[in-house]
Structure 1
């Protein structure tokens, strides 16, 4: 490492030093030898590109002072070093350990100092070949991402230094190389002063984790270019502008070089009549000239997230003889971003951002995310109706922006600046946050400028964000001023400004949009109604999706739709940041903070995703898809089939969608059809008539109309037939009531009431009721045992992450997790030959808590085998809002087939059920388990009419809501789910826990945000509910028909 006498304090502890010998930032580019290759834009096809990914020699030492002397020298023997892949994070390969922390720094905070003794350093070595064809040319070495700081040597000579983990570091290595074999050495520090600006909520991982490559250019080279497109006042015609930087790297002046600019459409056809051309008279040695090109374009295709049309710009550099020296290419989207009347406009049209925050994460590779993973992400986002991404909280891999350009995603590009852990800390001799400290201004500006310079040509980028959770101070003002001057075509975003409004009396004007995190709906409305500010409002983070979460999304979007200035939001966040790990027995699971012995850690607070680490969508994704869908349907006159179809696209009419309708009777499809093609313009609506034939009503039946909107063509992100939107309506047909079953027509019952048991026998069934336990302990049908035990009052659920953050503390305080059932009175009587009634009074509470539940149950057992359980539950008024109120049974494990008539097919809750249609669904009990990384309440179904659990012979138990209930079934107990901290800790029981709930509390988002909305909470008030259970044999009777029967006493 550098001698102390050369640099002290060392570069990696000096905020004034952010680089040494690094090239100025520029747009992503690659020189090609001809226009054909440039148009394709595949850098691997350029003869002037060499990818250095692959096997590197590696050694990890515990600190900078343990680095072997001269390891970077060519003669230093590294044959005994390990071989690792690059890109990678060394912690993911078994070196050192991953650390997950949200706010607290992973080392003692004393900026700009970082640990000296415990600061692992990764040493990398490899050789590379410089081809003879590169002789006499410039050669550049690019590291697209290295965490956190590094020195680089070529052939034993120090080339430079860089920090700032999320942006490229480029070095001109022409003076250091030779034709043939060369030696490259890199020294990477885990911690540097730059780590104080990289305190994001993520795994702290180190190493060379993005691509490393060489590229070669002529000595006169197009070093940079900046494309701008400006639309006229009618947003029809455009002005194409490009600023081109040409640098002469040689020792001699260059004369009469020519730059030609072409614009090609998607088919490769020229847009201009002739290339835009300028001749450079003279460029001094080591100097640079800037050329400005401008051209009117008649009505170009416009770029938007819905229609991401891309042109290709080619910049050709020719020498004085007219020979092509290089061709560079860039995708161009004609689009204009502006703010007007409190709204964000794209091409003159107000847009709403249906966004999500995305960390770069791979469960095996850490931050070394593959292109295949990125494509999977962006396809899923498009399929689930997202149109925007915030790159939380740093510039992403440059390929991500290419994909967003191509697939159509609006991007908030965020600077790699977060110092959350310094927010409330004060040190002796250091009394300011970095945002207020001029010593850190250079670091702030370097991260800002390099981000903008790299990503400035991407049409997908509509806002520059100054970072995240870094306080607010003059350094932010300077960043914003530079951006507004350099790139007035985009908006500036920074959520931190809202926190100084109470002090300043306003939100600083440096931002073009007002941004807020996790507001309550009331707060959002208050902001929208503020007449003192007319800037657009976005939620840069909301709907914290930790575990089983994302409740009341519907209510947020109802408010967004109501207020002009509310321009959408970004859900936190996209992917669970779990890392794949194995138990000693070889069972795989996803690990979180603390699982690697990492201290400090924030546990499973990194598990906030809408998709699991392998990108499997979680149930909440279906709610997002429904709420964000671009087509809305409203009923006009359902009896006559009249509905209103509303186009909520911003730029697209409805002609690209096929519209299908289906009419169901109790889940059975009885009619279907296809509507004529609609050409409804964006923002408009049409009334259409569904041409169904009104069916002859079946007694007790429910009729449902489903309208589906599907792609009529293939797209990059989904194939023809992909369902974009749907709406379901319960039809208001007059339907006669279901058939009556008279008690007197039922077979008689035999009651044996002796001692602690009451035995009720009927045709093909026998029920045993334990009077001491006040529950059924046997319910046999045709020799098969249907019930092991139950029901018991259930007022507990395995806390969700949102519960654990707030309400579960109160629940445990009142003992809801440890209630016992104290039987006060049981009375059994045969009220008719066909009816036995059991009356139960009990109290349910924790032994050490005075407040609980007074309970009264009436069981009516009928000769038909039906058992109606009438429950009256009176909670103590001093109890907090409750997790649930319901009945719990234990069912023998053989009844694994789970069929229900209610909302599905995926898990749903009272505040997260918009994306679940009512229907008849079937699967196994195992299928109902949702494997949240931190086990918790899961698998619930709402608005359930009936549910059956049957065995392979079709025999089992049928439960019928009177009228509706919530249902879940698992091979785990509630206690199992409560105690487990990882999925591997759950062991499958040989019985099923069946929950028939009157109601379960909503999910909300309280792990980081407001509580569950009051209307979705269960207040401690008296409730009465009924459920009906009975045996069922699918070969003899239909659960649907049985559910329609009404018992008449």
Structure 2
């Protein structure tokens, strides 16, 4: 890389400096008695291919832009039909040649004409931009105001003397690429535009220039300290506390503290000679003490998510309703913390975090990850010429967000390597706001921070860190300092596609070790952009769908929400894993232990109930009276005597904790936590008397015409032993199946070959197994079929013996599998697959549900009797992959609309998956619209499944959840529910 040219020769968009002309950064407040004019709406727009294709004459008053297009602001112009979005994770989509950017630099000229309100008082005013990507030059009424970078940070210009009563012309030139782009490589869509609000704000004489609310809480005395620094001076009133005090003077009063669980806010007002600003004050103190992060004197545990701002139609241009919806979903799923990856969010989001209660790590608009591709050469954080830009970004974040009680840590940025620029940022922040700890993950020495933060440390390493027994740093002093820090996983459990697995095991570590204070799942939402096929069918696009020369595929779809904000099974699992109340049953003693895992709240806001079920049928129910149970405390409750029930089968207790009253984030009755545990069994197994379909006398197999063998309701091919008809209806015979459409986590990471199970499985031929019939034997009451299942070019195999028998209308299958040869890889699945009539579109089952589950992602599955359509059993991952398994199924019934169908019982309990398309079709699909309903319903009856893990960017599947090739035996019983339960195509009924 060559040295940049002298600054005079470098255009403003390639200058390393943050910009020109802007006012000093200050706090954000959403309202005051000063006038505001929102300048959003329809703007005139012109897109050019380069930064210098057009001169600046468009900014002059009187310029005729009538032929320009119209563009909504806020928005991203690629999402309005101008150019295309592009996605990369790490790699810059332009040559790494800082601070220069390509000549091909899409540039959008924006024009807005506006009038002032009739009662606009005149005088000073500021023009505020909340967010523009990535660099802008601004004129008002022909006068240049300045330039700025820092896409997700605000900037203000003084404009009072330039304003006219009518026909004000605001002109903004926005460049997609700038020197600032090197600081904004944040694993997201590259989307230029004015994507946050533009506002004109009156600044009356004596108006507030800036203010800083200092609110501490002393947990030993129950008092809060309040001091509001303000320029110019004024007064602060807090009516509820009886306060009317001058700014700059501290006061100590008894208060209720603010926390994410109990977000107590006090309404206040800041008044100066020229302005009155409503405030919402929360008293809380954050500190690292004795190696533990504490708020208000108590250790806190982050049950968090990383949150990009995203909407499938509008990109990062979010409205406040969407922000609130996000937070409501988080609260409803027991999430208590957000890391604002990897930039400060819209400021209104933090107001909502204050109101609803959320711990926030506020992260600076900074990531230089693409420099890793070139060995970190030229990394801006290690080049002092970039330090002014870094300090500018730190100041704009801290000054904007400093008055939010929800913000408990500042983060310097993400994946920037190391360098003196980060140290300069940390020093500035610490001097400006010593009351908040500092976070940064990318420096293992933790030289500039107050917490030890890691990404994707696996379970074993996290446990070592919890014990403060991690491998030492070379420098003894640095090692001692880091070892005495609290530990958080700022990213873990990569939620890409089907997964993540292993959440419960991480939570055990967080609950066990004081030092391990939780983490933040990557991430909140899939960034799929909504598109439609020619026939209007909607789907979600990802990297590569827009013709990018470099892209990272669907790695942008790695969230707990689907792009349309539908919760994924991963979010449902996370809710269960992190539930703040633990319920454990001791049936022998007839007791339930309830443990309060909240950090601050007692259990008085919850109502507890029990339900008793037999064989999935609800019986008695009732309520518990729970004594006052503070955070960290437990209460032991007595179960009622086991109710009498006429049914036989498995009996289960279910205990639920729900909201006792409406809250700001969910209505009364919303379930917060639950547990299920077996009671004494009534009768045989999970098949109650009402559930069992009785058979009859055993059948002997007999030869029939056409080379067939008839055994009870089954008709078999005499040569191959394959089941061809069941109760007269054709089907695809059950046969051993070991393949699944690989998940994103099976595909693993390009930089970690051992994680790429998909590649290894394919190289081993598991997706193309062949079945050789070794022997078909008819004898006594059974038909026995021996097969060898193996892949071409391989000598290892699975010797599989199918033993068929029948009694009455019941057809029974025993399967025995014996591995032969050397198996070095886990199997994707082990079970049988069969094809049935597609009109069987309703499924009822007794087992785990209601949603999908896998061996390391099944905490949220509860035993019950469930019903769903085949369509409802599918999980629409943005990139189609293995999905939809239901665990621990004792029996299932697949039915048509008229009630006819097939019942399948299993011993032991099995994993049930039913799909209107084959595994092969699922494997080949890139988008949900590629999946087309077939003429066969494909049913998987699995004895075992390989776990999920989160190896798309995290740990492999844990050893206990790997499906190793080993001898296995399992059985199924098939019972037609009507004499003719399916009519073959082309046959009249």
* Coarse TM-score class (shorter-chain normalised): over 0.9
1:878 Cα offset (Å): 2.8
| More displaced stretch, 906-915 vs 742-751 | 742-751
Of 709, 717, 732, the residue aligned with 1:770 is: 717
Counterpart in 1 of 2:9? 8
Counterpart in 2 of 1:161? 147
The 1:914–1:5 alpha-carbon spacing in structure 2 relative to 1, beyond 3 Å, is closer
Of 225, 238, 242, the residue aligned with 1:263 is: 238
1:875 Cα offset (Å): 4.8
Contact 2:381 2:419 in 1 (8 A): yes
Contact 1:954 1:1034 in 2 (8 A): no
Matched, 1:293 2:294: no
Of 593, 597, 601, the residue aligned with 2:551 is: 601
Matched, 1:316 2:271: yes
Of 467, 480, 503, the residue aligned with 2:413 is: 467
Counterpart in 2 of 1:885? 830
The 1:171–1:1034 alpha-carbon spacing in structure 2 relative to 1, beyond 3 Å, is farther
**Structure with the greater alpha carbon radius of gyration:** 1
The 5 A counterparts of 1:369-768 are: 369-425=318-374, 431-498=377-444, 507-530=445-468, 532=480, 533-636=483-586, 638-695=587-644, 698-699=647-648, 701-733=649-681, 735=683, 746=697, 748=699, 751-753=702-704, 756-760=707-711, 762=712, 765=713, 767-768=714-715
Q: Distance in 1 between matches of 2:821 and 2:311?
A: 48
Counterpart in 1 of 2:987? none
Contact 1:11 1:18 in 2 (8 A): no
Q: Distance in 2 between matches of 1:756 and 1:78?
A: 82
Contact 1:814 1:851 in 2 (8 A): no
Counterpart in 2 of 1:203? 189
Q: Distance in 1 between matches of 2:608 and 2:823?
A: 52
SS at match of 2:354: helix
Q: Distance in 1 between matches of 2:548 and 2:294?
A: 46
Contact 1:86 1:208 in 2 (8 A): yes
Contact 2:908 2:970 in 1 (8 A): no
Contact 2:917 2:931 in 1 (8 A): yes
Of 1030, 1040, 1043, the residue aligned with 2:975 is: 1030
Q: Distance in 1 between matches of 2:264 and 2:52?
A: 53
Counterpart in 1 of 2:133? 147
1:421 Cα offset (Å): 0.5
Matched, 1:1008 2:964: no
The 1:365–1:744 alpha-carbon spacing in structure 2 relative to 1, beyond 3 Å, is closer
Q: Distance in 2 between matches of 1:571 and 1:748?
A: 55
Contact 1:357 1:573 in 2 (8 A): yes
Q: Distance in 2 between matches of 1:742 and 1:935?
A: 37
1:790 Cα offset (Å): 1.4
Counterpart in 2 of 1:284? none
* Superposition TM-score, scaled by structure 1 size: 0.88
Contact 2:542 2:557 in 1 (8 A): yes
SS at match of 1:120: strand
Matched, 1:191 2:171: no
Contact 2:222 2:256 in 1 (8 A): no
SS at match of 1:67: coil
Contact 1:639 1:733 in 2 (8 A): no
1:447 Cα offset (Å): 0.7
Contact 1:59 1:81 in 2 (8 A): yes
Q: Distance in 2 between matches of 1:773 and 1:713?
A: 64
Counterpart in 1 of 2:475? none
Matched, 1:857 2:802: yes
* CA deviation string 1:841-898 (max 9, x = no partner): 1111222333222222211223342323333232532341110111000000111111
Of 210, 217, 237, the residue aligned with 2:203 is: 217
The 1:476–1:744 alpha-carbon spacing in structure 2 relative to 1, beyond 3 Å, is closer
SS at match of 1:568: strand
Q: Distance in 2 between matches of 1:70 and 1:120?
A: 18
SS at match of 1:104: coil
1:136 Cα offset (Å): 4.1
The 1:105–1:748 alpha-carbon spacing in structure 2 relative to 1, beyond 3 Å, is closer
1:640 Cα offset (Å): 4.6
Counterpart in 2 of 1:504? none
Contact 1:57 1:124 in 2 (8 A): yes
Matched, 1:307 2:262: yes
Of 286, 289, 292, the residue aligned with 1:343 is: 292
The 1:648–1:129 alpha-carbon spacing in structure 2 relative to 1, beyond 3 Å, is same
Q: Distance in 1 between matches of 2:362 and 2:484?
A: 23
1:407 Cα offset (Å): 0.5
* CA deviation string 1:428-485 (max 9, x = no partner): xxx4321111011111111111100000000000000000000011111111111122
The 1:426–1:813 alpha-carbon spacing in structure 2 relative to 1, beyond 3 Å, is closer
* Superposition TM-score, scaled by structure 2 size: 0.94
| More displaced stretch, 799-808 vs 742-751 | 742-751
The 1:162–1:235 alpha-carbon spacing in structure 2 relative to 1, beyond 3 Å, is farther
SS at match of 2:894: strand
The 5 A counterparts of 1:878-1027 are: 878-1027=823-972
Q: Distance in 2 between matches of 1:745 and 1:94?
A: 68
1:702 Cα offset (Å): 0.5
SS at match of 1:799: coil
Matched, 1:365 2:340: no
The 1:209–1:456 alpha-carbon spacing in structure 2 relative to 1, beyond 3 Å, is same
Q: Distance in 2 between matches of 1:408 and 1:745?
A: 62
Q: Distance in 1 between matches of 2:31 and 2:920?
A: 62
SS at match of 2:767: coil
SS at match of 1:524: helix
Counterpart in 2 of 1:18? 18
Contact 2:206 2:275 in 1 (8 A): no
* CA deviation string 1:811-844 (max 9, x = no partner): 1011010111111111123x1xxx3x11111111
Contact 1:31 1:327 in 2 (8 A): no
Q: Distance in 2 between matches of 1:978 and 1:580?
A: 22
Contact 1:743 1:862 in 2 (8 A): no
1:698 Cα offset (Å): 4.8
SS at match of 2:234: strand
| More displaced stretch, 487-496 vs 307-316 | 307-316
The 1:742–1:927 alpha-carbon spacing in structure 2 relative to 1, beyond 3 Å, is closer
Q: Distance in 2 between matches of 1:572 and 1:946?
A: 36
Q: Distance in 1 between matches of 2:625 and 2:535?
A: 59
Give the number of equivalent residue pairs: 955
Q: Distance in 1 between matches of 2:293 and 2:695?
A: 70
The 1:747–1:497 alpha-carbon spacing in structure 2 relative to 1, beyond 3 Å, is closer
The 1:432–1:777 alpha-carbon spacing in structure 2 relative to 1, beyond 3 Å, is same
Contact 2:466 2:509 in 1 (8 A): no
The 5 A counterparts of 1:780-799 are: 780=727, 785=729, 788-799=731-742
Counterpart in 2 of 1:51? 38
1:7 Cα offset (Å): 4.5
